[in-house]
Amino acid sequence: MTQQLSPQDELIVFEDDHHEAPVETSSAPWKMLVVDDEQQMHKATTFALQGFVFEGKPLEIISAFSGQEAREILKAENDIACILLDVVMETENAGLELVGYIRDEIKNNSVRIILRTGQPGYAPELEVISKYDINDYKAKSELTRTKLITALTSALRSYEQIKAMETGQSGLEYIVKSSRELFQERSISGLSNDVIEPFAFLSKCAPENVLVCGMHNAGDNVDAVVLASGNAIDIEANTRVSDLNDSIAESIQEAFSNESSLLDGNHICLFTKSPSGHKIVISGKTQAELEFVNKKLLAVFGVQIATSLENTYLFEHINEIAFLDNLTRLKNRNGFLTQIQELLDSNSQSHLLLLIDIDNFQAVNDGLGHDTGNSVIKMVAKRLTSTYPNALIGRVSGDTFGVFIAQTSEEDLELIPRQLYKAFETTLRIGDNELPISISAGVAATDNCDDNANELFKNAGIALKYAKSNTKGKHQFFDPAMHEQLKRRLNVIKELKGALENDEMVLFYQPQYCLKTQQYIGVEALVRWFKPDGTIISPMDFIPAAEDSGQIVHIGEWVLKTACEQQVKWISEGLPPLRVAVNISMRQFKDPSFLDFVYQTIQDTGINPKYLELEITESMLSEDAMVFIDQLSMLRLEGITVAIDDFGTGYSSLSYLQRLPVDRVKIDRSFIRRVESNQGDKTIVSLIIKMGHELNLQVIAEGVEDEEQTKVLVELGCDEVQGFFYAKPMHGNDVKELLLKK
């Protein structure tokens, strides 16, 4: 018959006014040891107690005929409830010496002792009775059957209460100890395994046969699954309870359904529920009759499990927030690095870390909205997980993903990146939009990281930065030389801060020459950095560093203002008006105060706007052409001219050029270098010049270094040139001398 324990009953631990436990029937007898040196007393006692039953359990009598024999029996039997002990046996104090042995030596304080003696007038001292916790003392002559049964019943009741208190005390101590361990558990799997031993101890079950089941979702009454099991139960975790198909499964489901513990024969199910509604049922088969106190201890243990369960789910939730990306459900940076470190610590196999960045992702967000951007992120995550099903994948920043994958051969160094780019050959379909996706990647091997996840991540990050800066849309493998280059750049960034304040920055000007008028018609402002120790820092080093650190905005503002002041100064010194071209970086252009600063500079310096030209690179147009069109249009309304620098090296500006509000294109020096000897370069230069003229744009060639190049450019109809053949970059005063001499 199934006994249900209501949640209210389960919350009762012990009451101050202890009520007698309900009667329980059991075949296990009460054990009584009769110690007497007279054979007749053993027979008489056995005869008098025939048919004796207390609380449904019979009596088993064990006989000993001396104190020494009793000692041997007590060593072997630890569940004797009562001893009927003759005081005087082989010696006058043999009985009392046995009492001392029981209480003092073997520390058995639960067995009840009834002294009896056949010596007329002998009685032990009251002090002895009190000291050794003796239940009763009777003379053999007065110990009738009724008095014997009365004394035995009293002794057994006392023994039962003492054992209940001992069980309760040891059980509570066990619960307190195990609760500390359970409360420190940080996973549901770990908690489920940790409850098996204490449950088995309190329920008298074999731990190898215990089954722990639970609901993954709070409030769910259907999807009960196995969370943990003892060694003798061959059931995998997450197996549905409904698939077990046995009587145990039925009892477990009944406990879940009724939300109460139950006892069905020797099968027990302990139900508990956390405050937030997460449920667990622990099931086992008891090996002995459960005492009243054991049931109460199990109820207390259930409350402790509920508290630990709540704590564990809370920790898992916090852990999810801390280590999981909410949008993609991939590991975030913290979780990704943590798991990489765990894998590095436990696995000596070589791995590769790929850091993958979506090129121009900001343009998607700005142009199509953040919802579309989020869809792109999720679809990229999906493609990565399908491309590398056996890899650890994480979203480590806004549009950057990490892939940590085993390298099984040298061929993997080529195969793994190739798989990556093949996965993104096809466009992403987002609603009605077909979006081509370009990605750049940095790749680092575990061979160079000393099994340190942060070091590995840093190496891959350096390689990614190198790829974004130099080979956008492709991948780069980490090389230690990149690290040294980064250290130099970081040192440059550190020193940049004081360069402007200490007047270490100097503006040079490279004249621009009109091939038709044979006159210098403008200059390009070029910043140079001279350190106090005489060291010259190349613009190739400090301009990218300034871009990275954001200091390019302040440097750019200084360059613009200084160049405008110099142009006005030249005019005041009697020089013909020169157009001054100033390079504008992406970081400057995106700065919210950029337009206002340009307008304010024009006002403060007094420069005529038509002599100010702003140069932007062709690669900047791929970021967000519409933003450029709007801002460039506003600048041209002020009379400022606009030039596209490094033209011909980009991939997207041709489609926008007709709409762009620009005045001039500058042919990149890479095409000029061999224009007189390489037909391909000559053809490209010719096409750019023709296209520019078709769009009513002036065309200027950079990097002209000899007369042969000049002849070809004149032949092709180029308007202006700039290069060492005409003039090197020089100080403002040297420009003045050059023009006056000319």
CATH of residue 197: 3.30.450.40
pLDDT of 181 reads 73
Q: Is residue 15 part of a domain?
A: no
The CATH number of residue 119's host domain is 3.40.50.2300
Name the DSSP letter for residue 224. Answer: E
Residue numbers of the chain with a pLDDT score lower than 70: 1-27, 118-132, 164-173, 175-176, 179, 183, 216-222, 245, 291-293, 621-627, 648-656, 742
CB atoms within 10 A of CB 3: 12
Structural domain for 448, as ranges: 333-478
Count of positions (residues) in the chain? 742
Q: Which of 46, 275, 21 is nearest to 168 (CA)?
A: 21
Inside any domain, residue 507: yes
Tokens 């489901």 belong to which residue?
253
- Beta-strand runs (E) in 565-652: 579-583, 612-617, 641-647
- Residue 248 lies inside a defined structural domain of this protein: yes
- Does any domain span residue 172? no
Same domain, 600 and 686: yes
702 residue type, one letter: E
SS3 298: helix
Which pLDDT score is estimated for 648? Answer: 63
Among 113, 136, 166, the domain-final residue is 166
Please indicate, yes or no, if residue 662 is contained in any of the structural domains: yes
Residue 105: inside a domain: yes
Give the span between the Cα atoms of 541 and 497, in whole angstroms. 15
Are 558 and 688 within one domain?
A: yes
Same domain for 372 and 519, yes or no, is: no
Alpha-carbon span 524 to 664, nearest angstrom: 13
Do 370 and 505 lie in one domain? The reply is no
- Estimate the crossing angle of helix 292-323 against helix 196-203, to 10 degrees: 170
Q: Show the tokens assigned to 356.
A: 């993958």
CATH number at residue 724: 3.20.20.450
Is residue 563 within 8 A of residue 525, CB to CB? The reply is yes
CB 536 within 8 A of CB 529: yes
Residues pairing with 284 in the sheet:
268
> What is the rounded CA–CA span in Å between residue 579 and residue 576?
10
For residue 100, the one-letter residue type is G
The reply to whether 604 and 696 lie within a common domain is yes
Question: What SS3 string covers 455-516?
Answer: HHHHHHHHHHHHHHHHCCCCEEECCHHHHHHHHHHHHHHHHHHHHCCCCCEEEEEEEEEECC
Looking at the fold, whether 681 and 541 belong to one and the same domain comes out as yes
Assess whether 695 and 566 both reside in one domain: yes
Regarding whether 363 and 230 lie in a shared domain, the answer is: no
What is residue 521's three-state secondary structure?
strand
| Burial class of 404 by CB neighbour count within 10 A (0 to 12, 13 to 18, 19+) | buried
d(CA 113, CA 133): 8
Tokens of 238: 């997450």
Q: Of 323, 341, 360, which marks where a domain is finished?
A: 323
Tell me the one-letter amino acid at 307: T
- Each residue of 668-677: pLDDT tens digit? 898 999 999 9
CA distance 237 to 215: 12
C-alpha span between 84 and 82 (Å, rounded) = 7
Same domain for 625 and 694: yes
Do 554 and 693 share a domain, yes or no?
A: yes
The structure tokens listed for 227 are 């969370």
Q: What is the pLDDT of residue 509?
A: 97
* Helix (H), strand (E) at residue 377: helix 370-387
* 22 falls within a domain: no
Indicate whether 619 belongs to any domain.
yes
Domain count, the chain: 4
pLDDT at 565: 97
Q: How many CB atoms lie within 10 A of CB 684?
A: 17
Q: Answer yes or no: do 592 and 721 share one domain.
A: yes
Amino acid 220: pLDDT: 56
Look up the CATH number of the domain holding residue 359: 3.30.70.270
CA nearest neighbour of 138 among 95, 195, 84: 84
Q: Are residues 474 and 621 in the same domain?
A: no
**pTM (2 d.p.):** 0.52
